[in-house]
Structure 1
Amino acid sequence: MRPSVLVPSAEGRSPPSRSRVLWLSCVAHALHDGYTDMIYALLPVWQADFGLDFAGLAILRGIYAGTMATLQIPAGHLAKQWGSRATLALGTLLAALGYALAGMSGGLAGLCVALAISGSGSSTQHPIASGAVARAYDREARGPLSIYNFSGDLGKSALPATISLLVTMMSWRHALWVVAAVGCVTAAVIALSFPNLARRETPDRSAPAQRSPASGKGFSWLFAIGVLDTAVRMGLLTFLPFLLKAKGVSPQLTGTALALVFIGGAAGKFVCGWIGARVGVVHTVLLTEGGTAACIVAVMFLPLASTLVLLPILGMMLNGTSSVLYGTVPDMCPPERTERAFALFYTGTIASGALSPVLYGYLGDRVGVHGATVATAFTALAIFPLAIALRSYLSDNRKEVDTHDDV
């Protein structure tokens, strides 16, 4: 059985402390995800300022995303040595200082270095904040993790819009200093207020030696589901504007249609974590992935009016699985390795998000937009056997299974 966790103990873990972990983690998630997607709003500005082609712009985006993805596992190791509070605060400060340096950069090389610094700082957020929420709430973490997951979407909406507004009022360099200042303040709040969750395990001499999350079959199935789920989402979003264009949608209405998908996606992240806690992980994954495949096919063949009505539901199905998966990560690892498990999981999903549009794009060049879109639906259905295989490794309120062999 999973060893007991003192994070602190039940007697010492007050609801305010739990709540503070959750809301500060949500603030960190919103800030860092906002920093990540803020680049999209800045790319046209940088293109005009530095004379970049589209390949150069893609490299700028890749520098940030690449450093963030590759350093998440080292960030988990740092958290184990320094503690969650110090690592998250320093990472947030580094992400903010990276953007401040970008504002001071005199050329393209300096901008690239600054983005790498900021991406390095942002690598700390996902494994540490999600791990802290999981430890604070223990077996009740599914719902709070869905709130945490949802908060990232708020940041993705707020900060790109903010930077777009700021660059109409001042130079982009000064605008970056403003958002960097917000990050510095957030880092200070985390350093002063984030609860330092002590971790220790109660020895269980009857249990076998604990292994790395990467070696556990349960975690492997969960990881594979996360990678494919992200591939479906990013692949479909690549082709959806072209599907809408084929239905006669104008560029202006395309933006509105995508907004409907994103609104539904945010709602799906918030709701599906709670659903998973009540009806079970496997049932929820089968529902969301089956719903995703059905909605993809429907969007391809329905008339425009019906398609627009369906888009928020499609968004819910596309994004809903992620909250269920994130809430299951703590069940697949020993408590002292929660950050490492989240780091591995997020590394896989971020890499999938970067590579899958390229792979589906090559497929689209060969079989057409509709053929590649059908492939995303089949990818969603391919998750079914993985979810069924995951069932025997789950332990929750509905199905008690000894999971000490999972990790």
Structure 2
Amino acid sequence: MTVAVSSSPTARRTLTVCGGAHALHDGFTDLLNVLYPLLQAQFGLSYAAIGALKTVYSGAMASGQIPSGMLAERFGGVRVLALGTVLVAVGYGFAGLSGSLYGVIAGLLLAGLGGSTQHPIASSLVAAMYHGQQSRTALGTYNFTGDVGKVLLPALFALVAASLGWQQAMVVMAALAVLGAGVIIASLKPIVLHGKAEPSRVIAGQDRPWAYWLLFSIHIADDLVRTGFLIFLPFLLRDKGADLPTIGLGLSLLFAGGAAGKLVMGWVGQRLGVVPSVVLTEVATTLLVLALLPLSLDFALVLLPVVGLMLNGTSSVLYGTVPEFVSPEKRTRAFAIFYTGGSVAGATGPLLFGLLGDVVGLATALVAVACVALTTVPMVWALRPAFRDG
């Protein structure tokens, strides 16, 4: 199990609050997968249109991450993170109160910009508070907390939406975001993230640009698979006979498996190494997604935690490896670029896969998603010299 330990109360508090922010923001992002089928039913949207909605949110998140890192260096990471969380509340509240498709689009744009603050800032705050092996462990713990939000918030949103409607559920989520912003600003002292970090407080890292960019490419392919699968999963479950609460349950089962994957693969990665771990998770992801297609609803629900374990397990290994290929003074910018790449993949992948799904059908599109996972295998194999040189 990945648990960060530090003698510093400030470090523990930073990890706890940043982990809570990660849980909220990732939960806010992934509850949208419950919202999309509801929007399709109300507005008669195609798969491509659903993918376009996802692109609006993820595109806004992608475009805001590097500027968020710059703003954090100038005005302080805590302030920018809290303001970003408030902006998520504004976006979700506006989408819920308007109830129109254009209102939803505008709300997703605002929420995506707000969500862009979390990954680059929170991960940099955590990395700056832990040194040596603790940095990798702390980042693994931080990464795991995001999946806690992915488990809880989609299920909560599904229950509220089933009882009150999706508009009221969005307003409830907005209120939760306001509460989260208050906790962030009240719990953490303002810290200005200058480009230069104190070497004694962070993990040593050497600049290996070729290894960083190869890791970045693996991250892109991994995110394409994850976001492509998530955009189709609610519709696959619906076609198998699932109602709205069952779709929420299915997503929670997937994310629960993903949370376990962050812990399990962090442990496996330390023992087997990055290369064997990524090969294992990506090949298993392909096989499990293909196995999911012909199953009945009950058996699909049983398999979803295992799918989540492999689908999300790779990311924990990738995020924790970034500091090894980047010197400390470049880390905030490197994390911002890394997460921006994932958001760009999250923005473009669902749209492209949605267009494909409209042409070839849901099942064939999911086969294509599964096969993209295999493209990471030769890339991670090429990364082996970076670990031998370290």
TM-score normalised per structure 1: 0.75
The equivalent of 2:139 in structure 1 is: 145
Aligned to 1:351: 344
Match of 1:158 in 2: 152
**Which deviates more from structure 2 when the two are superposed, residues 272-281 or residues 341-350?**
272-281
SS of alignment partner, residue 66 of structure 1: helix
Give 1:31-180 correspondences, 5 Å limit: 31-42=24-35, 52-54=43-45, 60-102=53-95, 105=98, 109=102, 111-139=104-132, 140-167=134-161, 176-180=170-174
Are residues 1:291 and 2:284 paired? yes
When residues 186 and 258 of structure 1 are mapped into structure 2, their CA distance, relative to the original with a 3 A threshold, is closer
- 1:22 partnered with 2:32: no
Deviation track 1:338-395 (CA, whole Å, cap 9, x = no partner) reads 222222222222222333344445556777766655544543332122112222224x
Please list the CA deviations of residues 148-194 of structure 1 after superposition, one character each: whole Å capped at 9, or x if unmatched: 22222222333333344445666766654443333223222212322
Query: 2:130 aligns to what SS in structure 1?
Result: helix
Q: Is the 8 A contact 1:241 1:254 kept in 2?
A: no
Residue 218 of structure 1 pairs with residue 214 of structure 2: no
Q: Does 1:326 align with 2:326?
A: no
Q: Name the amino acid aligned to 2:257.
A: G
Partners of 2:88 and 2:325 in 1: how far apart?
A: 30
Look up the equivalent residue of 1:220 and give its one-letter code.
W
For the residues of structure 2 that align with 1:303 and 1:105, how far apart are their CA atoms?
38
Q: Deviations over 1:253-288 (max 9, x none)?
A: 984666544332221123212332343222211221
Aligned-pair distance for 1:71?
0.9
Matched letter for residue 155 of structure 1: G
Gaps of 5+ in 2: 1-5, 200-205
- Work out the CA distance in 2 between the residues paired with 1:115 and 1:239: 19
Q: 1:155 and 1:244 mapped to 2: Cα distance?
A: 21
* Deviation for aligned residue 1:102: 4.1
The residue matched to 1:71 in structure 2 has which SS? helix
Is residue 228 from structure 1 mapped to residue 221 from structure 2 by the alignment?
Answer: yes
The 5 Å alignment of 1:300-311 reads 310-311=303-304
Taking the aligned partners of 1:244 and 1:163, their CA distance within structure 2 comes to: 17
Per-residue CA distance 1:128-148 (angstroms, 9 max, x = gap): 111222222233233332332
Compute the displacement of 1:104 (Å).
Answer: 5.1
**1:329/1:40 Cα in 2 relative to 1: closer, same or farther (>3 Å)?**
same
Quick check: which has more Rg, 1 or 2?
1
Q: Is contact 1:136-1:197 (8 Å) kept? A: no
Q: CA RMSD, aligned part only?
A: 3.9
Aligned counterpart, 1:8: none
Larger RCO (CA within 8 A; separation ≥ 6): 2
CA distance in 2, matches of 1:269, 1:34: 16
**Aligned pair in 2 of structure 1 residues 365, 122: CA closer, same or farther (>3 Å)?**
closer
- The count of residues paired between Structure 1 and Structure 2 equals 372
Q: 1:217 to 1:365 in 2, by over 3 A?
A: same
Residue identity in the other structure for 2:179: V
The superposition leaves residues 317-356 of structure 1 with CA deviations (integer Å, 9 ceiling, x where unpaired) of 1110011111112222222332222222222222223333
Instruction: Please state how far the C-alpha of 1:291 moved relative to its aligned partner.
Output: 2.5
Mean Cα deviation higher: 232-241 or 14-23:
232-241
Q: Which moved more, 1:35-44 or 1:337-346?
A: 35-44
Query: If the length of structure 2 is used for normalisation, what is the TM-score?
Result: 0.78
Contact 2:262 2:309 in 1 (8 A): yes
CA contact (8 A) 2:72 2:192 kept: no
- Which one-letter code corresponds to 1:391 in the other structure? R
Per mean C-alpha deviation after superposition, the further-off stretch among 322-331 and 153-162 is 153-162
Structure 1 gap segments, 5+ residues each: 1-12, 204-209, 402-407
Answer with 68-77 or 98-107: which moved more: 98-107
Change (3 A) 1:283 1:41: closer
**1:20-47 C-alpha deviation (Å, 9 max, x unpaired):** 1111111111212222234444556667
Q: Cα distance 1:377–1:172, how it changes in 2: closer, same or farther (>3 A)?
A: closer
Closer, same or farther: CA 189–385 of 1 in aligned 2, 3 Å: same
Hey, what's the Cα distance between the residues in 2 that align with 1:78 and 1:60? 27
Pair 1:389-2:367 in alignment: no
- Report what 1:190 is aligned to: 184
Retained in 1: the 8 A contact 2:69–2:333? yes
More helix by proportion, 1 or 2?
2
Q: Distance in 1 between matches of 2:219 and 2:338?
A: 8
Which residue identity is paired with 1:179? M
Cα–Cα, structure 1 residues 262 and 164, in superposed 2: closer, same or farther, change >3 Å? Answer: closer
2:331 maps to 1:338: yes
